[in-house]
Structure 1
Amino acid sequence: MARGWRVTLGLLCCLSAVACGATAPRTGGKIVITVNGQAPQTQAFERRIFDEDAAAFEAAHPDIDIQPREGFMDPKVFSAKLASGQLEDVFYVYFTDPAQIIARRQAKDITDQLRGLPELKPGLLDFFTDDKGRVYGLPTANYSMGLLYNRVLFARAGLDPDRPPTTWEEVRAAAKKISALGNGIVGFADLSKNNQGGWHLTSWLYSVGGQVARRDGAGWKADFDNDKGREVLRHLRDMRWTDGSMGDKQLLEAADVQRMMGAGQLGMYLAAPDNIPPLVNQFGGSYNDYGMAPMPGGRGTLIGGEGYMINPKASPEKVRAGLAWLRWRYLDPDRIEGNLKRYADLKQPVGLPISPFSDIYAGAVREKQEALKAKYATVPVRNYQSFVDAKLKGGVEPPNAQRVYAALDSLMQAVLTDRGADVDRLLAEAETKVNSALAQAG
């Protein structure tokens, strides 16, 4: 869990010089660094952007040679790659990875090579910081969950598309009105299989001030067999069985609700902003038809994100070169406008709360980013502004998240498919399974 510290210059020393190309050149050649995060060839646009950035960086830093590698973080092979010398010099991680990597001394301490970072959102650097305040990586992107809704169906149901629900009771009321439109339209849908149900249940719990797990000494314990857990499941059961606003088809996953939303048959579902482009590109929707609001309940939201760390075996020169690359590509406020213009010129959506602007900045840089986003917008920014402006407490994914989510899937499935589901028994059984998963996380 993020501790909410602000990035302070006292913690960090010397990145501003690195970002300006002040790496010490190698005698007789360039400093060569391998970096992962390159998209596969099947993702042509994302790969193009990565490769263009690598070429532009090398032009600005002629003493550094970037050697891209496809792929991201695979925990199953990470330790083996490190031990065999195959791990990249600069490697991608999710926010759930750094704590264990730091504990195992599998990343470089970069504290003494950092200085002059732009102001970041409170807590993000904490994912890469140990209990002594030493820093082992940098955040490069952040997301949070919210309520994705269909503005057209809101209007048809007599709801104000510019005033989306802010409480779960308001979600329930809106879902009933939308479902009353008939013709197979569903007011609200949620996921319940392939670990996605557990992921969304975690988001629900955070939104009402609950949690999936709590610290217990050096480990973790499940913490949802309580009033918060019952509150969430009762609300879900009421919408499904009392109101009939969730439809009869259950055991859904992300592609199912995206298809429903893209076809204009769904009013609302929980999602991160990266769900919006597939609604348009894969399922025939329109950016004008959707809105994004903060998580109902107002008590919190599930956050996630990504960043990069440095191979613990990297030489000082490779460390400096790697940090120069990270700062230039991901943490340079002077590149915001150019990136936005590039995306607009390439007919990519600009104005959504997703790339090319990472949701990591605070203060004046964030204000600058939002102003430029409005300037170059190709989609209606106001549809998503309440989500962007929200300041909800963020909770990260639990340890061993996928096994935890698999255990929680059963809760969602039972409540959504069995009118007489015993919520108390289901919660107790799920806590036993989750405790087993947490114990394996160490």
Structure 2
Amino acid sequence: MVTVSVNGLPPKTQTVDRKNFEEDVAAFEKSHPKIKIDAREGLMDPKTFTAKLAGGQLEDVYYVYFTDPAGLIQRHQAADISKYIKDVPYAKDIDPSLQKVFTGADGKVYGLPTGNYSLGLVYNRALFTKAGLDPDKPPATWDEVRTAAKKISALGDGTVGYADYSKNNQGGWHLTSWIYSMGGDVATQDGTKWKAAFNSDAGHKTLQMLHEMRWTDNSMGTRQLLEIADVQKMMGAGKLGMYMAGPDNIPTIVKQFERKYDDYGLTALPGTATLGGGDGFMFNPKASPEKIRAGLTWVQWKYLRSPERDAVDSKRAKADGVPIGLPQPRLFAGATQAKIDEIRAQYANTPVGNYKPFIDRNSQVQTKVEPPNAQQIYTILDGVMQSVLTKKDADIDKLLADASKKVDAVLATVK
């Protein structure tokens, strides 16, 4: 018998999630009688992680966001699981771009992805039709977004073609994704040092596009300094054509504003890349080989579902009223993902055809993670977004140069 400690147990306040997790532990232990799961609440907290590891309190299997693995690998705070991966069912089918997040510069594997998202464009299908646009063929380039936004704004009655965030760090978050889509970076690493990288052609194109949509086309509305709740409300009221968001925004809008899933479509972000993220699990570097093998068995069974287990998940989720059919997470490539898509389509309670533009093109768009010290950088980039969207005479060159100096100071503290 091997006992393996894992975190990720939902708190008691999340009644349904906790119940499902405990059911899964019981089912897993029944089908794997030689493994016992010691499930604990909480996730990986960077503030306490090092102390827990040093004090022997860190779980054998611990949850991480996509922004965590690079540093953990560099500091030797995660176990090398390369030699165990070959025994993990479906591991070879994991999307290579996601597995790369958990792969070190040495080519060794230190964890497994279990969830992912990437930003695309959520759009109002009814407004597309009303504006003479084909809702089944949404924009695939930023120029097409600009054209569509102008047509939707021309409908009048307070309708806005495209909206974006610019405060509470959300403006910097979206500006990062814009710059990625234009082929640029927000920060790059030279050896062990990081430098700001957005004072570039991509940064210029991004701010010029936003400025022209706001001031030349008047397709972004006059009300600015928006954040996610404002934009979701606009979309829920039927007064917004498009905005940058992940698939999870759609159920939020439907639930909060009593809309129908049929109202909304989703397409991949224009350009070459998008901001994305996700989560996964890594392994305590002090864990024994037996615990690592047991932990991998649990992670694969619980999170990297086989098509058969996915059917169990989908059926249960539908009974709990959870939306089925949204295009993410998508952890696998090829035939395995195709089988899972087929199963989810059987249980779907959302219009999967509305998300086909996202699925068809998103694999061609590189997903890039957040820069280091992301929230501090986003605070600085908020100011850039705010200036472009509220000042007709905004000096783009100066905005990029000034912000770049500030971000360099933030990046100088990265360890």
- TM-score per shorter chain, which class? over 0.9
| Preserved contact between residue 276 and residue 369 of structure 2 (Cα < 8 Å) | yes
Residue matched to 1:368? 339
Residue 273, structure 1, aligned to residue 244, structure 2: no
Distance in 2 of aligned mates of 1:281 and 1:40: 23
Query: What secondary structure sits across from 2:116 in the alignment?
Result: strand
Residue matched to 1:304? 277
**Paired amino acid for 2:203:** G
**Paired amino acid for 1:281:** K
CA deviation map 1:75-118 (0-9, x unaligned) = 22222222233322211111110111111111122222221424
Residue matched to 1:241? 215
Query: What secondary structure sits across from 1:347 in the alignment?
Result: coil
Residue 72, structure 1, aligned to residue 62, structure 2: no
- Bigger Cα displacement from structure 2, 147-156 vs 115-124: 115-124
Divergent runs of 4+, >4 A: none
Distance in 2 of aligned mates of 1:224 and 1:126: 24
CA deviation map 1:131-180 (0-9, x unaligned) = 22222111111211111101111112221111111111211121122222
User: Please, which of 363, 367, 381 is the counterpart of residue 394 of structure 1?
Assistant: 367
Distance in 1 of aligned mates of 2:160 and 2:258: 18
Query: What secondary structure sits across from 1:177 in the alignment?
Result: helix
Query: What secondary structure sits across from 2:194 in the alignment?
Result: strand
**Paired amino acid for 1:403:** Q
Unaligned 5+ runs, structure 1: 1-24, 26-30
Residue 150, structure 1, aligned to residue 137, structure 2: no
Distance in 2 of aligned mates of 1:51 and 1:153: 44
Query: What secondary structure sits across from 1:230 in the alignment?
Result: helix
**Paired amino acid for 1:106:** Q
Residue matched to 1:425? 398
Residue 411, structure 1, aligned to residue 378, structure 2: no
Residue matched to 2:298? 325
Residue matched to 1:35? 6
Residue matched to 1:95? 66
- Bigger Cα displacement from structure 2, 358-367 vs 329-338: 329-338
Residue matched to 2:412? 439
Within a 5 Å distance, the mapping from 1:171-186 to structure 2 comes to 171-186=145-160
| Preserved contact between residue 163 and residue 220 of structure 2 (Cα < 8 Å) | yes
Distance in 2 of aligned mates of 1:268 and 1:42: 34
Query: What secondary structure sits across from 2:96 in the alignment?
Result: coil
CA deviation map 1:375-431 (0-9, x unaligned) = 221111010011112221222211222222222111111111112111111100111
Per the normalisation by structure 2, the TM-score is 0.94
| Preserved contact between residue 263 and residue 284 of structure 1 (Cα < 8 Å) | no
| Preserved contact between residue 197 and residue 404 of structure 2 (Cα < 8 Å) | yes
Distance in 2 of aligned mates of 1:40 and 1:51: 11
* C-alpha deviation, 1:232, in angstroms: 0.5
Query: What secondary structure sits across from 2:4 in the alignment?
Result: strand
- Bigger Cα displacement from structure 2, 420-429 vs 39-48: 39-48
**Paired amino acid for 2:365:** L
**Paired amino acid for 2:216:** T
Per the normalisation by structure 1, the TM-score is 0.88
Residue matched to 2:83? 112
Query: What secondary structure sits across from 2:353 in the alignment?
Result: helix
Unaligned 5+ runs, structure 2: none
| Preserved contact between residue 194 and residue 412 of structure 2 (Cα < 8 Å) | yes
Distance in 2 of aligned mates of 1:72 and 1:264: 37
Distance in 2 of aligned mates of 1:69 and 1:377: 32
| Preserved contact between residue 3 and residue 36 of structure 2 (Cα < 8 Å) | yes
| Preserved contact between residue 118 and residue 365 of structure 1 (Cα < 8 Å) | no
| Preserved contact between residue 136 and residue 357 of structure 2 (Cα < 8 Å) | no
Residue matched to 2:185? 211
| Preserved contact between residue 93 and residue 306 of structure 1 (Cα < 8 Å) | yes
Query: What secondary structure sits across from 2:28 in the alignment?
Result: helix
1:81–1:253 distance in 2 versus 1, CA, 3 Å: farther
Residue 227, structure 1, aligned to residue 191, structure 2: no
Query: What secondary structure sits across from 1:141 in the alignment?
Result: strand
Residue matched to 1:17? none
CA deviation map 1:155-209 (0-9, x unaligned) = 1222111111111121112112222222222211111112111111111111121
Distance in 2 of aligned mates of 1:360 and 1:440: 33
Distance in 2 of aligned mates of 1:125 and 1:407: 31
Distance in 2 of aligned mates of 1:318 and 1:350: 34
Q: How many residues are aligned here?
A: 409
1:150–1:191 distance in 2 versus 1, CA, 3 Å: same
* C-alpha deviation, 1:292, in angstroms: 0.4
| Preserved contact between residue 37 and residue 71 of structure 1 (Cα < 8 Å) | yes
Distance in 2 of aligned mates of 1:399 and 1:385: 32
Distance in 1 of aligned mates of 2:29 and 2:237: 44
* C-alpha deviation, 1:41, in angstroms: 3.4
Distance in 1 of aligned mates of 2:360 and 2:17: 27
* C-alpha deviation, 1:288, in angstroms: 0.7
Distance in 2 of aligned mates of 1:73 and 1:269: 31
Distance in 2 of aligned mates of 1:428 and 1:349: 44
Distance in 2 of aligned mates of 1:441 and 1:375: 47
Query: What secondary structure sits across from 2:309 in the alignment?
Result: helix
| Preserved contact between residue 186 and residue 267 of structure 1 (Cα < 8 Å) | yes
**Paired amino acid for 1:40:** P
1:177–1:48 distance in 2 versus 1, CA, 3 Å: farther
Query: What secondary structure sits across from 2:267 in the alignment?
Result: strand
Residue matched to 1:59? 30
* C-alpha deviation, 1:343, in angstroms: 1.8
Residue matched to 1:343? 317
